[in-house]
Structure formats: C-alpha cells, structure tokens
Chain A
Amino acid sequence: EVQLVQSGAEVKKPGESLKISCEGSGYNFTNYWIAWVRQMPGKGLEWMGIIYPGDSDTRYSPSFQGQVTISADKSTNTAYLQWSSLRASDTAVYFCARPALPTMTSPDYWGQGTLVTVSS
C-alpha cells in the first residue's frame, strides 16, 4: 500500500527555522516525484514545487522560489520542506503528494498534511 506519512504539527515563532518531512512507503521512493502543496487557513490549494528523489531535480513555483527549500533523502525515503526564517504568513497546512505513475508529476496520492503555526 502506497503511504505518505508526514511529520506532526509545529508551533514556531517568527524568524525561527523549520524542516518538515514526508516519508514514503510501499513503493520505490526514488522513482516518483514528490510535490508540496500549501493550504492557508480557509483558503485553496497552492502548488509549491516538486522534487525527484532519484537525482534531486527540483522545480519551484515562482511564488515560492527563494522562500522555501525542497529536498529529499533517498536513504530514508523522506522528502523535506524547510524554511530558514518563518513568517506569520507561513501559517498553513502543508501536504506532500506523489503521482500515480513514475512518468508523471501530478499530486495523486496525498500525505495527511502538517499544520505549521507561526505566531509570536
């Protein structure tokens, strides 16, 4: 069974750093793109970027380029989303997702989401 299990909720202060994770199981993690999607409170889904764990090829939405870093560790089947300096506006639920097929990049299977709260 394909599973994406995300790390737990985080409460941080503005200016702090953070790295959240998404562990894949039940499939060959190396061969499937992983996407990250943001959902701010009461708002819609926003595509942030994707990474191919096999070679760490990474693409970012222009809206998120330079704001976050997406990475992956093949040895632990885990993808990461990180911030070096959080802002209150980063408060959101963040989802990871992978496609149904290795040749695709669409977010077909989703993790449960990680709530990030940034507040002083």
Chain B
Amino acid sequence: SYELTQPSSVSVSPGQTARITCSGDLVAKKYARWFQQRPGQAPVLILYKDTERPSGIPERFSGSNSGTTVTLTISGAQVDDEADYYCYSAADNMGVFGGGTKLTVL
C-alpha cells in the first residue's frame, strides 16, 4: 500500500513563506490534493491537481510537484492560516492521506 510522508510541524512568523512537503511514490503517479483543518472543524479542500485552487481559496496558497514530492506553499502566512494541513492522493480507488502537518504562525 502507498504512504505519504509529511513533516509533523512547520513554524513561521507572520508574513513569511511556509512550505509543507508531502513525499511518496504515489504523488509521482497521481495528482495530490491539500486540505486545511482547523481545530474542531471538518477539513477544507485548498488545492487539487497539485496546483489548482478551488474558488474562494486565497492566492497565497499555491502548490508544486517535483516527482515524488509535492509542496504546499503559503506566501505571506497569516495567523489565521494556523491549522493542520493534510495531503491526499489515490490509486485504484483507494485513498491515502499524509500524516498531517501542524502549521504554527507566530
């Protein structure tokens, strides 16, 4: 079965750029999605097809893919961006989430 590996935590100061990686063989073959989850809330889709933003997601959220690693970049991170972030991909109708990254902005 596939695995997606994320750093457990990332910390930046407000206004800095935060980068969260997601690594695994699966993302070299299939598109990745990124979800933001705030405490006590359901996850929200913020990127799909590695780099595409759903409507309503701020432009400061962007994505990239370099083979077996996809990266979520938050440019000019805000305090409001403090949350858990999960990558996701799927193969053969089986989904896989990364372990999640806690982003701290302070």
- Tell me the A residues contacting B by CB distance below 8 Å: 35, 37, 44-47, 50, 59, 61-62, 95, 100, 105-113
- Shortest Cβ distance from A52 into B: residue: B93
Binds A, one of B10-18, B74-82, B95-103: B95-103
B86 CB within 8 Å of chain A:
yes
Q: Does B66 sit at the interface, judged by CB under 8 A?
A: no
| Chain A residues, Cβ within 8 Å of B88 | 45, 47, 106-107
With A47-B94, A50-B93, A106-B90 in contact, is A111–B42 under 8 Å at CB?
Answer: yes
Q: A26 to chain B: closest CB distance in Å?
A: 16
Q: Is the CB of A44 within 8 A of B42?
A: no
* Chain A residues closer than 8 Å to B37, beta-carbon distance: 45
**Interface residue count on the B side (C-beta < 8 Å):** 22
B20 to chain A, nearest CB (A): 13
Can you spell out 13 A-B residue pairs with CB atoms less than 8 angstroms apart? A44-B86, A44-B100, A45-B86, A46-B97, A47-B95, A47-B97, A95-B43, A100-B48, A105-B90, A106-B48, A107-B88, A108-B33, A112-B42
**Which B residues are CB-close (under 8 A) to A109?**
45
Given A46-B97, A61-B94, does the pair A106, B42 have CB atoms closer than 8 Å? no
Residue of A nearest to B86 (CB): A45
Binding site for A on B (CB under 8 A): 1, 33, 35, 37, 42-45, 48, 54, 84, 86, 88, 90, 93-100
B90 touches A44 (CB 8 A): no
CA distance A88 to B99 in the complex (A): 22
A35 to B37, CA, bound (A): 17
CB of B83 to closest CB in A, whole Å:
13
Which among B35, B86, B93, B96 is the interface contact of A59 at CB below 8 angstroms?
B93
Shortest A65–chain B CB gap in Å is 11
Select B42's contact among A59, A61, A62, A110, beta carbons within 8 Å.
Answer: A110
A113 CA to B44 CA, complexed, in Å: 13
Query: Residue of A at shortest CB range from B97?
Result: A45
